[in-house]
Amino acid sequence: MEPVSSLSVNRAKTKRSSYRNELLGILFALPAILGLLIFTLGPMIYSLYMSFTDYSGSNSPTFIGLDNYTRMFSGEDQYFYKSLGVTLYFVVLSVPTGIIYSFLLAILLNRNIKGKAIFRTVFYLPSIVPIIAISFIWLWLLNPDLGLANEMLRAIGLPGSQWIFGEKSVVPSLALMNLWTTGGTMIIFLAGLQDIPRSLYEAIEIDGGSKLHKLRNITIPMMTPTIFFNLIMGIINGFQVFSQAYVMTSGGPNNASLFYVFYLYREAFQFSRMGSASAIAWVLFIIIMLLTYMVFKTSKKWVYYEGDEAR
């Protein structure tokens, strides 16, 4: 950065320094740019190519056109629609509950209570535990015979559940477990809450509004950008759910938790069909893109940005 000495800096000099800056900027960003090109974009393009081939991971790929895709969409591969349905169900259950839960938690932790820091740490803690470890913990918590969950239900006189061992209860169980790991979302909400100017709340207090008014008219509208961000991230992460199925259920019982990415994994590493697995991955990519685009489209109607009064 060249210090700007006076107003009489001539245009050429400004230009020159701006190119220098441009160059420096690109140079500094180069590792990231190259990383993206070599480690992300390159493999992505290659996998797109592979999705049109018959490739087992060890042979040389042979071009087969759209066969991998027709196999999926025609239902010839019986697991495609099944896994898509299971994953959608998980997303529909886990995303709204996750957002509401972590939002409420953030509001509670934003209050001036004793031991605020401790509570925040405690609720955030699960999200730094690796998902594999979490899966094992919950495997025990949700054990229908010995698990804490059923133990507690029985203590208050309710019948227990089969949890992850029941075809109907497995996805809701995993969505429930997902709530436990929403510490990251909660932290983002917490940061958002602290950005809301006090003055707005004071205005409501002067007008004699209740706490509910504050929540409905200030907190929620001011938080819509944060909610929007968390919604998008939630959808993306929800579609990519894998480890729980891999560790806890192996996709069972009877494929009731055959999540899309687990299905992809199985196709690639158990059935040795890398080509088809690439096609599956690309379909997921497009699904996530479309959904994200749709959420973006609707965002104009409900997301409020400060200083954007035209809306």
Binding site for other proteins (CB under 8 A): 12, 15-16, 19-20, 22-23, 26-27, 30, 34, 38, 56-59, 76, 78, 139, 143-146, 162, 165-167, 251-255, 266, 269-272, 274
Whole-number minimum distance, CB 35 to other proteins, in Å? Answer: 12
The residue among 271 and 296 lying less far from other proteins, judged by its C-beta, is 271
Nearest-approach distance from CB 259 to other proteins, in angstroms: 14
Q: Which is nearer to other proteins, 21 or 210 (CB)?
A: 21
Taking the complex as a whole, the smallest distance from the CB of residue 96 to other proteins amounts, in Å, to: 29
- Smaller CB distance to other proteins: residue 139 or 218? 139
| Minimum distance of other proteins from residue 294's CB (angstroms) | 32
* CA–CA dist 25, 20 (Å, integer): 8
To other proteins, the closest distance from the beta carbon of 252 in angstroms equals: 5
Q: What is the closest distance, in whole angstroms, from the C-beta atom of residue 158 to other proteins in the complex?
A: 15
Which of 224/272 has CB closer to other proteins?
A: 272
Q: Which is nearer to other proteins, 175 or 277 (CB)?
A: 277
Closest to other proteins by CB, 106 vs 274, is 274
Among residues 29 and 122, whose Cβ is nearest to other proteins? 29
Cα gap 88→74, rounded to integer Å: 19
DSSP the chain: ------TT--HHHHHHHHHHHHHHHHHHHHHHHHHIIIIIIHHHHHHHHHTTEE--SSS--EE-TTHHHHHHHTT-STHHHHHHHHHHHHHHHHHHHHHHHHHHHHHHHTS--TTHHHHHHHHHGGGGS-HHHHHHHHHHHT-TTT-HHHHHHHHTT-----GGGSTTTHHHHHHHHHHTTTHHHHHHHHHHHHTS-HHHHHHHHHHT--HHHHIIIIIHHHHHHHHHHHHHHHHHHHHT--HHIIIIITT-STTTT--HHHHHHIIIIIS--HHHHHHHHHHHHHHHHHHHHHHHHHHHHH---TT-TT-
